[in-house]
Amino acid sequence: MIKAGIIGATGYAGVEILRILQSHPEVQIAAISSVSFEEQGIDTVYPNLYGIEERKLTHSDEVIAGSDVVFGSLPAGVSEEFAQKCVDRGAVFIDMGADFRLDDEAVYAKWYKQAYKRPELHEKAVYGLTEWNRAEIAKAPVIGNPGCFPTSVALGLWPALMGGLVKTGSIVIDSKSGVTGAGRGLTQNTHYAELNEGFAPYKIGAHRHTPEIEQTLSKMAGTQVQVVFTPHLLPINRGILSTMYLKFADGATLARAHAAYEDFYRKEPFVRVLRAGDIANVKNVRYSNYCDISLHEDAHTGTLIVVAAIDNMVKGAAGQAIQNMNVRFGLPETMGLTMVPPAF
Ligand SMILES: NC(=O)C1=CN([C@@H]2O[C@H](COP(=O)(O)OP(=O)(O)OC[C@H]3O[C@@H](n4cnc5c(N)ncnc54)[C@H](OP(=O)(O)O)[C@@H]3O)[C@@H](O)[C@H]2O)C=CC1
Ligand SMILES: CC(=O)N[C@@H](CCC(=O)OP(=O)(O)O)C(=O)O
């Protein structure tokens, strides 16, 4: 059995890891921690866990001391210290936040307004988009789980960029996220009265997932890619839907793109390329680790339109982290992750 610990277990991503791991046959929860709720039972913070998982929240040092794998579900800027302690002990650290996602320290400093405190640690870290980086993830001591929006975008565009089906010069990404994406802390725009009945973009031209998206898409395309990325806040709990607009390369067609996507993802257990004509919908991936992708065109402008849907808390966070843990520990990749999305 693998002993797993969670630092920041009271956050949305942390408690979602705890929920999914309840039914993982090869994982035993070692310890979970919180600063604000130390010594309280997790079920007092999240009563859905009453009678199922009632362990006390403890200190992060206890989590690290007792775990083979530690999930850090923390705000940006605080993970390095915990990652270092894990590396020193020989435990694997999987970071849910953004501290190990970007290759270039200067880019991180610009977008996250802080510097790396332990730059040498970042040389040991790999990017945790599972489908893209399995071989590296399988041996890494530190894994930077991708952002939720970048997961939907990268999986949605990878075959088009690799297959030369599109021009890389004008990529427009329009994404919508459910409100759990903002975490448990209340901000003005996540207040019920502000959110309910509303729908608007935020951080237009300035969202910190932009450099992460460009970094991954550039590697996939083999050339520097820039994107226009606009996130929106949806008044639903879970789900991300990214609608992406790209100009077809000369000679490319929707039918060719569809065949290429089906072929590309044929062996991927968590990526579903929908039948021609069907449309990806957040409703069909809720509570599951699936990424649904549908392909469309605007024929009169020669535009390929890719729609990708994930559950931000599962494939966009906790599910992908557990998928990475499975890869890292040599377990079947789907173990503990075969949740079927409910119909309604
Ligand atoms: N929600 C989502 O859809 C996704 C989130 N993520 C990322 O996962 C991480 C966690 O997000 P989320 O769960 O939404 O956030 P929350 O705000 O819901 O939770 C944050 C957690 O971090 C803990 N924490 C805060 N500061 C510190 C500190 N200095 N030392 C130790 N623990 C601390 C809090 O503990 P305490 O109990 O003390 O308050 C809490 O458990 C973030 O980096 C986020 O960006 C990634 C992908 C998707
Ligand atoms: C709805 C909402 O607010 N979503 C968050 C994204 C959550 C996420 O994945 O962000 P990290 O990079 O911090 O992991 C946001 O836009 O900042």
CA atoms within 13 A on the CB side of 321: 34
Q: What is the ipTM of this complex?
A: 0.95
Distance in Å, CA 297 to ligand 1 centroid: 38
Residues 154 and 101 in one domain: no
| First and final C-alpha spacing in the chain | 35
Domain that holds residue 180: 149-312
Helix spans in the chain (H): 12-21, 42-45, 60-66, 79-89, 105-112, 119-122, 130-137, 148-162, 192-195, 210-221, 254-264, 319-328
Ligand 2 pocket, residue 148 CB under 6 Å = yes
300 by Cβ neighbours in 10 Å (0-12 / 13-18 / 19+) ranks as exposed
Query: Which one-letter amino acid corresponds to residue 145?
Result: N
Ligand 2 close to Cβ of residue 42 (< 6 A): no
131 belongs to a structural domain: no
Q: Does ligand 2 lie within 6 Å of residue 98's CB atom?
A: yes
Ligand 1 atom closest to 33 (CA): 37
Cβ(146) to ligand 1 under 6 A?
Answer: no
Place 170 in a pLDDT band, splitting at 50, 70 and 90.
confident
Predicted pLDDT of residue 165: 96
Residue closest via CA to ligand 1's atom 15 equals: 183
Question: 240-247 and 303-310: which strand pairing?
Answer: antiparallel
What's the pLDDT tens digit per position in 257-313? Answer: 999 999 999 999 999 999 999 999 999 999 999 999 999 999 999 999 999 999 999
Q: What is the pLDDT of residues 86-141, one digit of tens each?
A: 999 999 999 999 999 999 999 999 999 999 999 999 999 999 999 999 999 999 99
Catalytic residue positions? 148
Please tell me the number of the ligand nearest to residue 79's CA.
Answer: 1
Closest residue by Cα to residue 243 from 295, 188, 168, 302? 295
Ligand 1 atom index nearest CA of 37: 37
| Cα–Cα distance measured from residue 148 to residue 311, given in angstroms and rounded to the nearest whole number | 9
Same domain, 92 and 202: no
Name the region of 37 (left: φ>0; alpha: ψ -120 to 50; beta: rest): alpha
Residue 223 pLDDT grade (very low, low, confident, very high; cuts 50, 70, 90)? very high
Q: Do both 174 and 58 map to the same domain?
A: no
Give the position of tokens 């599972």.
Answer: 130
Of 123, 141, 162, which marks where a domain is finished? Answer: 123
User: Do the domain assignments include residue 328?
Assistant: no
| Same-domain status, 109 and 47 | yes
- Return the percentage of the chain with pLDDT > 90, whole number: 98
Any domain includes 325: no
